[in-house]
Structure 1
């Protein structure tokens, strides 16, 4: 709360503002802004929230107020802007009572300090609506980001989510680039993947399943890769203590291990071969690629035991499926995008919610 003096007050030009105020204030070099003690009489932030499902009907680049429960949040990342400045960003997946999910991007300090571990209610006043990857919203420098705000809409969302909203099969307005980016959950049994011919369209399909690992193929699951951060190309042992990367056209005195793991998953109706790359393979096996590489070289029995322990474990898998053609032979390839432990309590709640919905 501030005292503002020596400013100019005039009728707002609606052409250049997204606010609904009738007047706007212009500050000058001689204007005075002095903090004052907070008062209970100060009105709360006035928001005109747009339901997530309605965002599809709004024009691109519109400024909107949005509110939702954070279903998940990506790790914070760093990007380089056109002005060569590095900024932090984080993508959140917000859901509301419409059952629709939209990706919200936070920037800079807001991205760095955000904690989505307890599924907070997030409200943004003045977010920009984009059509990047479907529909998404982004906080601006002028936006107000509120976590668990003291607003009636936030209390209603909290109650709805805790009383079963978390278990709904949701649909995202934003196309996903990864498993954790808020895609439509699209739960499937493995038999449905084949019966519904998933992956046969122009674009890949995504689905989630609860499945048990029947077998992990340890043969040829590890390879020696270029040690540079942005290159995973297989290196060639020069037999002189150096390793050559053809992609980088350089030789290195070391390498890093990379994983490509083939596994057979099964549920009560069918089984499916899948491919797990580095992060998902490490999650499934419970060890890093580097550790597995060392075990293979010094203790083959311990190496074998890692794969034996992974067999007959049950997880939730987020998968990408696409029909691929190689040497004139077409086959469906299923790639695991994310591996999560089974939260039996939440999974049971989701099943009960679906049963009630089907019974109604």
Structure 2
């Protein structure tokens, strides 16, 4: 008996804070759910005095009966019951086994079912804006409290600001809808438009968080217009009457098996007195110099000083005729490393780089161009200027003391940007020196002749937006779907991805070229090649055949990649230039001098 925390279950079901209570597991059964990939277990718990059967374990696998466990993190949730009204459930988020069930072997004490013994004492938790969520145990069970419990559902229906029963994000599911959550807006996307065979409209999405987890919510059409300006990042709101459904993991990276959708009946009210119960947005900042070793496509949190920013660039997409805007921001931090951050759309339009502001980016996408790494914003990226956090003040102080005049290494500098930066090397030397072993690949250049160009699969239909080159799916109804953008379009753009065999004096190598460089060799745009392949096969074949036996300087990236447990040497051409014989002869003379000496 002395191993268990006496009275722990009563305190927890009242909503009182309790540090590491120790209880016994009297029963543990897996909950079957066809829609959930996450294992959950219903448990019967005992503290020696009382027992409860409404407990759920989400933190780990099942626990043996009679085991003694220490509960490290827990929360209370509510589910509707046709018999008893709202039923409290103790959700265990983290626990550890103190003594295994096989060692204990027996039930400790003579626990009484808490729902029979103390039901009126804990089924009273109601939150109002002027009170905390924890009740004073000295007046639990008084008539006024009992009256509040009976009237709570009616008060909730009248107004969210009068009284509310709070549920947790981790307890939401499609199987009940009488809930209110109190959550912070952690991120909000821009308003976007969509169009498909069923019509068109606008939408935006935002991420919510509380102490139990996160969930994504999306609003469409008129509801999107209603709430877009109302919902602000970092503010806390009460949400109710939203649709909960299984999350589409293809477009939703939030760690929750469900997602929410706002509808015309949804109710959202700002929490005017943030009591600190809902946690602040957390950042996992990485120093800029560590971005050099990260994979392309990774999402990172970065904070840096804007040392300079380019003017906004406006251009028109050739495929969609839409006007696009971008701006490049040059960021530095205490690692004395710089990187280019590309902003798009309204983020580029509203950015002000005067007075060297501190820029915080949550969820920036790592990219690579010409051997240099860069960052760019995506739809889910969040940007803050001069945030009032410790990291901001620290980096600002560094910049004022020494950073402004320090020499920095630029990660975005193109390795293949100039011939003096890219070493000349033959294919034989590339293999002899074992290039391609590094994580980001190795760069070299060689003068080579095109021996064969593959026309098969050299062209594909891509997303028409300028910032996306993902292959689209032909829906065979006049529309094309981009899975990356999660949109359907009435058009597409052609993109080249050409494989060719090139040879220098020492060896030959199969290489891949993307649209911009392939167009230089073929002398045609991707659109012209695509139309030719669709309408005139002979003309298309001639375009590829005419490239044979032409000479260029190929700046390449060599990388050893693993596919199906098999290592393959892959070479991508990052830049194609006409042969500068004066420069190449200078290189050859230098090599001859080395041999003579």
TM-score w.r.t. length of structure 2? 0.32
Please tell me whether residue 291 in structure 1 is matched to residue 518 in structure 2.
no
Once the two structures are TM-superposed, the CA of residue 86 in structure 1 deviates from its matched residue by: 7.5
342 and 181 in structure 1: CA distance in 2 versus 1, 3 angstrom threshold: closer
Cα displacement string for residues 278-334 of structure 1 (whole angstroms, at most 9, x for unaligned residues): 111112212111110111122211111111111111110000011101111111110
Please tell me whether residue 189 in structure 1 is matched to residue 426 in structure 2.
yes
d(CA) in 2 for partners of 1:313 and 1:343?
14
Aligned counterparts, 1:59-78, within 5 A: 78=327
d(CA) in 1 for partners of 2:562 and 2:540?
34
Once the two structures are TM-superposed, the CA of residue 176 in structure 1 deviates from its matched residue by: 4.4
Please tell me whether residue 346 in structure 1 is matched to residue 583 in structure 2.
yes
247 and 205 in structure 1: CA distance in 2 versus 1, 3 angstrom threshold: same
From 265, 269, 273, give the equivalent of 2:502: 265
Aligned 8 A contact 2:499 2:513 in 1? yes
Cα displacement string for residues 323-351 of structure 1 (whole angstroms, at most 9, x for unaligned residues): 10111111111000100011223322332
Please tell me whether residue 215 in structure 1 is matched to residue 452 in structure 2.
yes
From 403, 407, 414, give the equivalent of 1:129: 407
Aligned 8 A contact 1:79 1:86 in 2? no
Unaligned runs of 5+ in 2: 1-304, 306-325, 332-349, 355-371, 373-403
TM-score w.r.t. length of structure 1? 0.53
Aligned 8 A contact 2:559 2:569 in 1? yes
Aligned counterparts, 1:1-360, within 5 A: 78-80=327-329, 84-85=351-352, 129-133=407-411, 176-177=413-414, 179-180=416-417, 184-356=421-593, 358-359=595-596
Once the two structures are TM-superposed, the CA of residue 81 in structure 1 deviates from its matched residue by: 7.4
d(CA) in 1 for partners of 2:467 and 2:440?
26
d(CA) in 2 for partners of 1:354 and 1:275?
28
- Secondary structure of the 1:333 match is strand
- Secondary structure of the 1:310 match is coil
**Which position in structure 1 is the counterpart of 2:79?**
none
d(CA) in 1 for partners of 2:502 and 2:353?
41
Aligned 8 A contact 1:178 1:337 in 2? no
- Secondary structure of the 1:129 match is coil
Aligned 8 A contact 1:217 1:261 in 2? yes
Root-mean-square deviation (CA, aligned residues, Å) is 2.7
Count of matched residue positions in the alignment of Structure 1 and Structure 2? 207
d(CA) in 1 for partners of 2:568 and 2:444?
18
Unaligned runs of 5+ in 1: 1-60, 62-76, 88-102, 104-125, 134-174
Structure having greater relative contact order (Cα 8 Å, sep ≥ 6): 1
Quick check: which has more Rg, 1 or 2? 2
Once the two structures are TM-superposed, the CA of residue 228 in structure 1 deviates from its matched residue by: 0.6
